[in-house]
Amino acid sequence: MAPRFEDAGYSLAFLSSDQPQRSQALRQRLRLDFMLLCDPSRATITAWGLLNALEAGGVAKPATFVIGSDRHVLTRSLDGYASRATAANVLAAVTSPQGIAAPKRSIAIPGREQWSVALRNLLRLGG
């Protein structure tokens, strides 16, 4: 997917709250071919309002930002864990003749498996 963004004049990057070694392992496992940015101090993640302090000592909430060459945010999607902007939707938005528009969102109703994972995490955290 990264080459399609590059053909449209955009670069991709992902930002993680993990240490670089852990993020690099994830990047290799998922075969991601774009830039890796790490924020283990969570300074940027906090400044951008993306910190989920209740999960695993503080992780970044899923989000998508399109940042122009002038370093201004053109659009953003602050996502949930069950409902995220897809790469195809973001690519369509940035290449649309009408310009950038927020990706279409739908409501996701968690299934039994998502509830089970959430409850296990809650019990593990002693919540």
Tokens of 93: 């938005």
Cα-based distances in Å from 126 to 58, 59, 66, 123: 16, 18, 37, 5
Q: What are the strands, taking DSSP E only, across the chain?
A: 13-16, 35-38, 51-52, 59-60, 63-67, 73-78
pLDDT band at 126 (very low <50, low <70, confident <90, very high): low
Average pLDDT over residues 101-109: 50
Query: pTM value?
Result: 0.59
Tokens of 36: 């890796």
Share of the chain above pLDDT 70, in %: 72
pLDDT band at 115 (very low <50, low <70, confident <90, very high): low
The answer on pLDDT for 7 being more than 80 is yes
Average pLDDT over residues 73-101: 73
* 33-94-87 Cα angle (round to 5): 40
CA nearest neighbour of 92 among 114, 116, 69, 64 = 64
Domains and CATH numbers, the chain: 2-124 (3.40.30.10)
- Contact predicate 79/73, CB 8 Å: no
Pairwise pLDDT comparison (120 vs 99), residue with the higher score:
120
Residue 51, classed as helix, strand or coil, is strand
Share of the chain above pLDDT 90, in %: 0
Pairwise CA distance, residues 14 & 94, whole Å: 17
- Contact predicate 102/65, CB 8 Å: no
